[in-house]
């Protein structure tokens, strides 16, 4: 026992003496500079994230900016526009061969009606697969009700829900199923979970509409089958990505959304899928799913 | 306080109870994260790294890699019961990785980087070479230890952390940490026995 103890002290002393605490001041100061740089980067990241999330929240809850779109989508404006387009379409179908103009009218008709249908949707459910950096993948399930209630679930590879976020106009609640901790926050800016950053543009149909009308640059439109569905191929120049949005031509609602890296060598867009979204529209969603319910006798901070 | 949540899994609705910790209600910002979690231990981080790698360039690289790892695990660190210990453990892990990397590199270039030794008198050069040799042997021995043993030994001996803190950082119980430290010490004692006797002789002189 005594020998063991003396061995223990000897080896401790040997390690302490050899690996002694003698960090030279010049190296300490250069390491300190690295830490200051890291602190600055953290602050920059916080600022960027805050800007991104406030943009997303503006889209979700402040509809003032979309007034002009509401006007443009009013029945009084849409009805004559649609009639003109149908007449033009019929004329162009009769006169052979079908021209680029016919295609563009079909595209315009589809995009206008799709935007209208999406912004007037009563509910939306979508499952999302995201391939993030380092080949890490995330799965999400978003449910949205027209009362501006959104629920987002982050699902792992075993199909277990690891995080859930509820968004209402009053507050945001995030449940971490791994740590069993429930957090309440007031603004989307306060979210620090990196998992949710990938889907900020899909928190509601209005976000999708805003992207369709503002951020995306159309490259191509094609119809599949016997006019069963139409696919918009668009580019997002600032992200260097390509998006394929497929719309059901019976309901004019999007059915699928795929995001790829922009690669000039792959014109077909069959590169690595960064994001794949499957939509379901106007299905009834149980209201109790949309807000965490506080049990009797308990209080919430 | 308890909150019940209705959720849906595989199409079926089910209820789940949650315990809310009031201190978790508000979220920390990145600036607060740095001020509260990194700043108080930045000297410990730098010194722990230096004591293991003992090379200026490698120390800077290890600090950089450690910060990158900390950045990736912000969520985990924030919700950890002892974030400071976890950060120091991350630094040690990266430092051990760098030792292993250095060993692999040395297998290719078999010569020692003597140019890093300061130019001094003959006696001092000899002493510095001797110290460098002892240092290299100790680092080599640490490198040979299984990773968890190496981390436990270094946290205990170099960082002088209590067993309970090491257990929190390593995500195991205190008994396991004691076993890791004891086994690590025994192995180091065996591998470095010739150095121990030499240092004792020097002390007796």
**What pLDDT was estimated at residue A59?**
53
Q: How confident is the model at residue A106 (pLDDT cuts 50, 70, 90)?
A: low
Q: Does domain B2-204 have CATH number 1.10.15.40?
A: no
A196 found inside a domain: yes
ipTM: 0.71
Nearest to B149, CA basis, from B169, B189, B176: B176
**What pLDDT was estimated at residue A99?**
54
φ, ψ at A140 (rounded to 5°): -135, 155
Give the distance between the most distant pair of CA atoms in chain A.
105
Q: Work out the end-to-end distance of chain A between its first and last CA atoms, rounded to an integer number of angstroms.
A: 55
pLDDT in tens, A194-248: 778 778 888 888 887 877 777 777 777 777 766 678 888 888 777 778 888 888 8
Min Cα–Cα distance to chain A from B22, Å? 6
Tell me whether residue A119 is exposed, middle or buried, using C-beta atoms within 10 angstroms of its C-beta: 0 to 12, 13 to 18, 19 or more: buried
Q: At what angle do helices A75-94 and A100-119 cross, to 10 degrees?
A: 150
The domain containing residue A264 runs over which residues?
Answer: 25-291
Residue B155 in contact with partner chain A when CB distance is under 8 A = no
The number of folded domains in chain A is 1
Asked if residue A130 lies in contact with residue A198, where contact means CB atoms within 8 angstroms, the answer is yes
Give the A window 173-232 contacts with B, CB below 8 Å.
175-176, 179-185, 190-194
Strand A241-248 relative to strand A137-145, pairing: unpaired
Does the beta-carbon distance from B75 to A32 stay under 8 Å?
no
Of B6, B46, B49, the CB nearest to A288: B6
Separation of alpha carbons A175 and A169, rounded Å: 18
Asked if residue A196 lies in contact with residue A165, where contact means CB atoms within 8 angstroms, the answer is yes
CATH number for the domain spanning A127: value is: 2.50.20.10
- Three-state SS string across A78-102, please? HHHHHHHHHHHHHHHHHCCCCCHHH
> ω before A97 within 30° of 0 (cis)?
yes
Residue B13 in contact with partner chain A when CB distance is under 8 A = yes
Q: At what angle do helices B83-108 and B163-170 cross, to 10 degrees?
A: 70
Select the more confidently predicted residue: A252 or A299: A252
H helices of chain B, where?
Answer: 30-33, 42-53, 56-72, 74-78, 83-108, 122-144, 147-157, 163-170, 174-191, 193-204
Residue A8 in contact with partner chain B when CB distance is under 8 A = yes
Show residues of chain A in contact with B185, CB under 8 Å.
7-8, 11-12
Show residues of chain B in contact with A38, CB under 8 Å.
34, 38, 67, 71
Min Cα–Cα distance to chain B from A180, Å? 6
**What pLDDT was estimated at residue A266?**
52
Of A10, A181, A192, the CB nearest to B21: A181
Residue B157 in contact with partner chain A when CB distance is under 8 A = yes
Q: Name residue A243's beta-bridge partners.
A: A234, A259
Give the A window 27-46 contacts with B, CB below 8 Å.
27-28, 30-32, 34-35, 38-39, 42-43, 45-46
Tokens at A288, concatenated: 């109790």
Does the beta-carbon distance from B33 to A42 stay under 8 Å?
yes
Could you tell me what percent of chain A has a pLDDT over 70?
74
Give the A window 53-72 contacts with B, CB below 8 Å.
none
Give B165's contacts (C-beta < 8 A, 6+ positions apart). B82, B85, B155
Give B30's contacts (C-beta < 8 A, 6+ positions apart). A42, A43, A45, A46, A192, B74
One-character DSSP codes across B33-46? HIIIIIGGGHHHHH
Half-sphere exposure of A198 (CA within 13 A, CB side): 23
pLDDT in tens, A32-90: 988 888 888 777 776 776 666 556 555 544 444 455 555 666 666 777 777 788 877 77
Q: Name residue B8's beta-bridge partners.
A: B13
- Domain ranges in chain B are 2-204
pLDDT in tens, A150-183: 888 888 877 788 888 888 877 788 888 888 778 8
φ, ψ at A139 (rounded to 5°): -120, 140
Nearest CA in chain A to B70: A38
Separation of alpha carbons A143 and A145, rounded Å: 7
């Amino acid at each position: 026992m005594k020998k063991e103890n003396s061995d223990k002290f000897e080896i401790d002393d040997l390690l302490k003496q050899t690996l002694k605490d003698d960090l030279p001041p010049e190296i300490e100061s250069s390491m300190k500079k690295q830490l200051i740089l890291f602190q600055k980067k953290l602050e920059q990241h916080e600022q960027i994230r805050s800007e991104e999330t406030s943009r997303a929240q503006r889209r979700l809850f402040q509809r003032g900016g979309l007034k002009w779109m509401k006007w443009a989508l009013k029945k009084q404006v849409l009805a004559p526009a649609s009639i003109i387009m149908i007449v033009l379409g019929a004329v162009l179908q009769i006169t052979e061969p079908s021209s680029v103009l016919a295609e563009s009218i079909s595209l315009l008709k589809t995009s206008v009606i799709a935007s209208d249908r999406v912004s007037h949707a009563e509910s939306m459910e979508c499952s999302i697969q995201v391939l993030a950096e380092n080949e890490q993948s995330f799965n999400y399930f978003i449910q949205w009700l027209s009362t501006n209630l959104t629920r987002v679930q982050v699902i792992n590879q075993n199909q277990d829900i690891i995080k859930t976020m509820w968004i209402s106009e009053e507050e945001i609640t995030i449940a971490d199923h791994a740590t069993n901790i429930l957090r309440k926050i007031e603004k989307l800016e306060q979210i620090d979970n990196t998992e949710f950053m990938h889907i900020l543009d899909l928190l509601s149909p209005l976000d999708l509409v805003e992207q369709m009308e503002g951020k995306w640059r159309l490259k191509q439109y094609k119809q599949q089958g016997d006019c069963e569905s139409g696919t918009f191929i668009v580019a997002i120049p600032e992200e260097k990505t390509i998006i394929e949005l497929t719309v059901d031509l019976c309901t004019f609602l999007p059915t699928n959304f795929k995001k790829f890296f922009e690669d000039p060598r792959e014109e077909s867009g069959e590169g690595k899928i960064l994001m794949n979204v499957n939509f379901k529209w106007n299905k009834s969603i149980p209201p109790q799913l949309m807000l965490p319910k506080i049990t009797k006798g308990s209080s919430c901070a | 306080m308890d909150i019940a949540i209705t959720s849906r899994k595989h199409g079926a609705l089910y209820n789940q109870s949650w315990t809310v910790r009031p201190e978790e209600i508000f979220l920390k910002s990145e600036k607060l994260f740095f001020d509260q979690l990194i700043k108080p231990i930045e000297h410990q981080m730098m010194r722990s790294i230096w004591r293991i790698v003992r090379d200026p360039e490698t120390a800077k690289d290890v600090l950089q890699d450690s910060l990158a790892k900390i950045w990736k695990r912000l969520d985990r660190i924030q919700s950890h019961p002892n974030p400071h210990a976890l950060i120091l453990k991350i630094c040690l892990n990266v430092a051990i990785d760098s030792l292993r990397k250095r060993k692999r590199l040395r297998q290719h270039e078999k010569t020692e980087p003597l140019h890093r030794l300061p130019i001094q008198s003959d006696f001092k050069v000899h002493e510095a070479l001797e110290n460098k040799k002892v240092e290299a042997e100790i680092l080599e021995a640490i490198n040979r230890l299984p990773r968890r043993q190496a981390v436990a030994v270094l946290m205990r001996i170099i960082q002088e952390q209590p067993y309970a803190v090491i257990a929190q950082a390593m995500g195991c119980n205190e008994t396991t940490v004691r076993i890791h430290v004891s086994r690590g010490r025994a192995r180091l004692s065996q591998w470095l026995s010739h150095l121990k006797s030499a240092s004792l002789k020097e002390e007796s002189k």
